Amino acid sequence: MNKVELLAPAGDLERLKIAFTYGADAVYIGGEIFGMRSAAKNFTKEDMTEGVNFAHERGKQVFITINIIPRNEEFEQLKSYLLDLDEIGVDAVIVSDPGVFAFVKETLPNMEIHISTQASTTNASAANFWYSQGAKRVVMARELSFKEIKELKDNCPDDMDIEAFVHGAMCMSYSGKCVISNYTTGRDANRGACAQPCRWKYTLVDEVSKGKFEPVVEGIDASFFFNSKDLCMIEHIPQIIKSGITSLKIEGRMKTAYYVATTVRAYRMALDEYYKNPEHWKFNPMWLNELKKGSHRDYNTGFYLNKPNSNAHNYESASYIRNYDFIGIVRGHDLKKNLVIVEQRNKMNVGDKIEVIGPFKNTMKATIIEMYNENDETIESAPHARQIVKMKLDIEVDVDYMLRKPIVTINTI
């Protein structure tokens, strides 16, 4: 059975390595230029080289985003950038602009090209056009249902890959084509600098009623009426695969290493369980619960099951939901003292009851019994960002395991 690809985001080298460690088959990353996430840390040439080597040693792949809409003067720089990517050995480039597509074909005839979701591919004719020009993969517009994707796939060549977003933030504009950020802040969303004004609070004024404030949704103070809920399709693995999608894409190059680990891990578990017995796959609520232990907005199914209605937006708040703090990542062991070496990410204390996650492992519960600083001095808490601590836990953990603890809300009433 040909298994689908699990494709993860990586905003830097650490997240790339975490994505592969936790079960991704491929990652998509951006270099320091030509990507749609200019605010992400992104990859230098040196980091990209290390990341590609890390991937290839494990039989994995790395795709590079070149999906902005460039200006004339940028094509000279694009040529040298493409030659660098070829030298590094990246597996594919992701493009949305026809001019960039043609330029890649001319400069690197053997480079695999994927058509970005920004190209708004919604039909088989468009997909076949890109295939006839030499594209290996087409990323679906986010506005398609399972039925539409299956119809498209059934009318395209068997060896053309179909990629689709299955998890992460949703853009309120059609396939990400938004000019609100440019208008309000001068930051061009189509060149990787979106200020996310769709998450801001607004007031709607009815001009006909002489400045009367009108509710967008009856009975709700809908101040965040552009604010889309996050996409989550982990409950629909069989439908995803049967629709013909061959690559399941997770959104989030701006997200943390913890987000990458928790999301990849949950989808990896769900996919692996599916392939054990496809006809009798059963959704495990634990997978969704794990996704909810990362920072997220309320979830919905986007366009996959039907056209979204008012339930696809959160009109009352644009805040993320955070029920757990990511407190540390295991970096190694002090074998002489039988201690775990942890890089702190949020405050932790001796006595904390925590959870530990690892790749291809069920969630474990643990207690921090003892902690020491880098000078082996006893400490009761680790409050400093990214400080290295040694600790004694009541379970065994490995490198790259992640520690988290519930956020305790104190009722002051």
Residue 188: band (very low, low, confident or very high) from pLDDT cuts 50, 70, 90: confident
Q: Residue 101: which H helix or E strand, with range?
A: helix 98-107
Which of 228, 244, 305, 240 has the alpha carbon at shortest distance from 267?
240
Query: Average pLDDT for residues 31-41, to the nearest whole number?
Result: 63
Output the CA–CA distances (angstroms, integers) from residue 147 to 120, 144, 153, 163, 247, in the order listed. 17, 8, 10, 15, 17
The whole-number pLDDT of residue 229 equals 83
Token pair belonging to 71: 């200006």
The whole-number pLDDT of residue 219 equals 60
* CB-based burial, 88-116: b 16+ in 10 Å, e otherwise: bebbbbbbbbeebbebbeebbeebbbbbb
Query: Average pLDDT for residues 300-308, to the nearest whole number?
Result: 87
Q: Residue 53: which H helix or E strand, with range?
A: helix 45-57
Query: Average pLDDT for residues 303-315, to the nearest whole number?
Result: 76
| In contact, 392 and 369? CB cutoff 8 Å | yes
Q: What is the rounded CA–CA span in Å between residue 45 and residue 52?
A: 10
Residue 14: band (very low, low, confident or very high) from pLDDT cuts 50, 70, 90: very high
CA 272 to chain CA mean position, Å: 19
| In contact, 190 and 200? CB cutoff 8 Å | no
The whole-number pLDDT of residue 158 equals 95
Token pair belonging to 403: 């520690």
Token pair belonging to 13: 């080298």
Global confidence as pTM: 0.90
- Pick from 73-77, 224-228, 346-350: least confident: 224-228
| In contact, 298 and 313? CB cutoff 8 Å | no
Q: Residue 83: which H helix or E strand, with range?
A: helix 75-88
**In this structure, CATH architecture of domain 324-406:** Beta Barrel (2.40)
The whole-number pLDDT of residue 181 equals 73
pLDDT tens by residue, 193-206: 777 777 777 776 66
| In contact, 401 and 329? CB cutoff 8 Å | yes
Q: Residue 348 pLDDT > 60, yes or no?
A: yes
| In contact, 124 and 156? CB cutoff 8 Å | yes
Handedness of CA 304, 305, 309, 311 (dihedral sign): negative
| In contact, 266 and 168? CB cutoff 8 Å | no
Q: Residue 38 pLDDT > 60, yes or no?
A: no
Q: Residue 398: which H helix or E strand, with range?
A: none
- Pick from 163-172, 263-272, 297-306, 313-322: least confident: 313-322
The whole-number pLDDT of residue 36 equals 53
Q: Find where tokens 């009975």 sit.
A: 219
Handedness of CA 97, 102, 141, 35 (dihedral sign): negative
Q: What is the rounded CA–CA span in Å between residue 267 and residue 165?
A: 13
Q: Residue 184 pLDDT > 80, yes or no?
A: no
- Pick from 131-145, 209-223, 352-366: least confident: 209-223
Q: Residue 116 pLDDT > 70, yes or no?
A: yes
Q: Residue 24 pLDDT > 70, yes or no?
A: yes
Residue 214: band (very low, low, confident or very high) from pLDDT cuts 50, 70, 90: low
**In this structure, CATH architecture of domain 5-174+228-312:** Alpha-Beta Barrel (3.20)
- Pick from 179-193, 377-391, 393-407: least confident: 179-193
- Pick from 97-111, 161-175, 241-255, 256-270: least confident: 161-175
Q: Residue 133: which H helix or E strand, with range?
A: helix 124-133
| In contact, 58 and 26? CB cutoff 8 Å | no
Residue 247's SS3 state is strand
Query: 247 — alpha (psi -120 to 50), left (phi > 0) or beta?
Result: beta
Residue 380's SS3 state is coil
- Pick from 236-240, 294-298, 338-342: least confident: 294-298
Q: Residue 10 pLDDT > 70, yes or no?
A: yes
Output the CA–CA distances (angstroms, integers) from residue 215 to 189, 200, 262, 310, in the order listed. 28, 16, 37, 13
% of the chain beyond a pLDDT of 90:
71
Residue 271: band (very low, low, confident or very high) from pLDDT cuts 50, 70, 90: very high
CB atoms within 10 A of CB 407: 10
| In contact, 120 and 144? CB cutoff 8 Å | no
Output the CA–CA distances (angstroms, integers) from residue 64 to 26, 61, 81, 96, 114, in the order listed. 11, 10, 11, 12, 10
Residue 308: band (very low, low, confident or very high) from pLDDT cuts 50, 70, 90: confident
- Residue of higher predicted confidence among 5 and 170: 5
Q: Residue 330 pLDDT > 60, yes or no?
A: yes
**Averaged pLDDT of the chain:** 89
Residue 210: band (very low, low, confident or very high) from pLDDT cuts 50, 70, 90: low
The whole-number pLDDT of residue 164 equals 97
Domain ranges of the chain: 5-174+228-312, 324-406
The whole-number pLDDT of residue 383 equals 95
The whole-number pLDDT of residue 409 equals 62
Q: What is the rounded CA–CA span in Å between residue 257 and residue 9?
A: 10
